[in-house]
Amino acid sequence: MRMVDVIEKKRNGEELTTEEIKFFVNGYTEGKIPDYQVSSLMMAIYFQDMNDRERADLTMAMVESGDKINLSGIEGIKVDKHSTGGVGDTTTLSLAAMVAAVGVPVAKMSGRGLGHTGGTIDKLESISGFHVELSSEQFTKQVNDIKMAVIGQSGNLTPADKKLYALRDVTGTVPSIPLIASSIMSKKIAAGADAIVLDVKTGEGAFMKTLEDSISLAKAMVQIGNRVGRNTMAIISDMSQPLGYAIGNALEVKEAIDTLKGNGPEDLQELCYTLGAQMVVLGGKAKTIEEARSLLVEVVQNGKAIEVFKKFIEAQGGDASVVDNPSLLPQAKFQIELPAKQDGYVAKMEADEIGVAAMLLGAGRATKESEIDLAVGLILHKKVGDQVKQGESLATIYSNTDDVQNVLDKLYAHIVISSDKVEAPTLIKEIVLD
C-alpha cells in the first residue's frame, strides 16, 4: 500500500477501507510515514469528512496503537465521563462520588493539563497528603472496596492520537468533527471504559461555540461509541458563562464538597444530576433516567455521597477532615471585591475571558512547566440574568498578591451589565442518545 494513494483517494472524496486507515495510523505511529504526507491526509479529511464506519475504524486504530488499561478486575459496568472542557467545571469530583454512592464503579484516570485552572489531579492535590500514585492492584482493589479511585496518567495510551493531535495543531486541522470525535473517543476507550457519558460544552467558553457544531460533535462521538460496543450518550450543556461560582483549584474543591452535600450552586448541582442519571442508567443501577435521578438525590440528602468522598480521600492518603472544615484547604492571602459600577442585570459573563482572569492570578498553567497556585482564583456572586445594585460585589478575587489591577480590568471588561432585564441561559441544551 502506498500513502500517496490513500491521500488521493480521500482528496477525491472516496471512502477509506479499514486496512487503509490502519495502514496510515500504524505507519505514522511507527515513524514510517512522514509528517508531510499525514498532514496532507488530515487536510483531505478536514474537507472531505469521514463516514461513521471510517470514524469508528480511525478510533479503534488509535486505541490499538498503544497500551489499553485493563479494568476487568473491577466488578460492574465501568462508566466514564468526559467533558469537552470549560471554565470552573468542578463536575468530575462531585459527580464521581455521587454515582459511586449509588453503586456505579468509578475508575478514573485523570490528568493535570493546561488551562484556566489545573486538572482534576491538581484540584485533588489541594487536599493535604492526597496522592494519585496507585499501583494497578491498589487501584482495582480500591474501586471494588469503595467504588471510587482516581489515578494519574500511566502507560503509553493512544500514541497515535498524541502524534496526530500535535500535527493537527500546527497544520490547521484541529477543528474537524471526525478527527476531534475519534481523538476523544480513542482516549476514553483505551482508558478502559465500558460505557461513556459525554458532556459537550457549547458557547463562548467552549471548544464548540455554536449549538449546531456542538450537536454534530456529540452525535459523532455517540455513534462511534455505540458502533464499537461502548454504550455512549451525550448532553450538550451551556458554557457561555462559567459553571458554578468557583474558578480555582482549592476553591473548586470546596464547591464540589458543597455540591456533594446538596448545597452547591444550582447549575452545578443540576449538571451533576443530569450527567449522573445517565451514568447510573448506563451502569445498570436504574432502568429510567427518573429513577436514576432520584437515587442520586437520595444519596446526596442522606449523606452517602459525601461519605464516599471522605473514604476516597482517606484511601488516597488525604486529610478527609477538609470535608467538614474546608478552611484546611490552601488559603489565599488577599480577598479583593469587584463592586458593580452600575445598577442593572448581568447580561454576560464571558466564560473564556473570566477563565483567563483566574489564570492571571496563577490558578492555571500557560505551559507544561508553569507552577500552579492552588489557593487562588475567583468566586463569582452573580450569574447571567441576576439583578445587581451599584457597589454590590460581582466577584471576590482570591490572590496571593494585592496587585490585581490587570485582573480587575479583565473582569470589568467581560462582565457586562445591562439596564434591561436579561433571561438566564438554559443549562442543558440537548440530550443526544444516537
Binding positions for ligand URA, rule: CB under 6 A: 165, 174, 179-180, 183-184
Residue with smaller CB distance to ligand URA, 138 or 216: 216
151 binds, among Ca ion, ligand URA, none (CB under 5 to 8 A by kind): none
Select which of 22, 112, 187, 382 is catalytic: 187
Q: Assess whether 414 carries a catalytic annotation.
A: no
Contact predicate 183/165, CB 8 Å: yes
Q: Closest CB to Ca ion among 62 and 375?
A: 375
Q: How far is residue 267's CA from residue 254's CA, in Å, rounded to a whole number?
A: 16
Of 244, 330, 355, 364, which one interacts with Ca ion (CB under 5 A)? 244
Report, in Å, the least distance between residue 43 CB and ligand URA. Answer: 15
Q: 257 is in the binding site of which of ligand URA, Ca ion, none (Cβ under 5 to 8 A by kind)?
A: none
* Shortest separation between residue 258's beta carbon and Ca ion, angstroms: 10
CB of 265 to Ca ion, least distance (A): 7
Q: Where are the beta strands (DSSP E) in 156-228?
A: 195-202
Q: Of 211, 156, 145, 138, give the one whose Cα is nearest residue 29.
A: 156
- Check if 161 is active-site: yes
Q: How distant is the alpha carbon of residue 214 from its chain centre?
A: 15
- Interaxial angle between packed helices 249-260 and 91-102, expressed in degrees from 0 to 180 and rounded to the nearest 10: 30
Q: Which is nearer to Ca ion, 194 or 350 (CB)?
A: 350
Q: Which residue number, 179 or 313, has a Cβ lying nearer to ligand URA?
A: 179
Cα angle 155, 158, 163 (rounded to 5 degrees) comes to: 115
Residue span binding Ca ion (CB under 5 A) among the ranges 90-98, 375-383, 392-400, 416-424: 90-98
Whole-number minimum distance, CB 357 to Ca ion, in Å? Answer: 14
∠ CA 62-188-26, rounded to 5°: 5
- 90, 140, 186, 259: which one contacts Ca ion (CB under 5 A)? 90
The number of residues that bind Ca ion (CB under 5 A) is 4
Contact 250, 374 (CB under 8 A): yes
9 part of the active site = no
Burial class (CB within 10 angstroms; exposed 0-12, middle 13-18, buried 19+) of 307: middle
Minimum CB–partner distance for residue 180 and ligand URA (Å) = 4
Query: Quick check: 86 binds Ca ion (CB under 5 A)?
Result: no
Q: Considering only CA atoms, which of 107, 157, 115 is closest in space to residue 132?
A: 107
Contact criterion met (CB below 8 Å) for 378 and 396: yes
Active-site residue flag, 187:
yes
Residue nearest Ca ion (C-beta atom): 244
φ and ψ at residue 397, rounded to 5 degrees: -95, 125
Cross-strand partners of 109? 151
Q: Contact residues for Ca ion (CB under 5 A)?
A: 88, 90, 244, 246
- Enumerate the active-site residues: 82, 161, 168, 183, 187
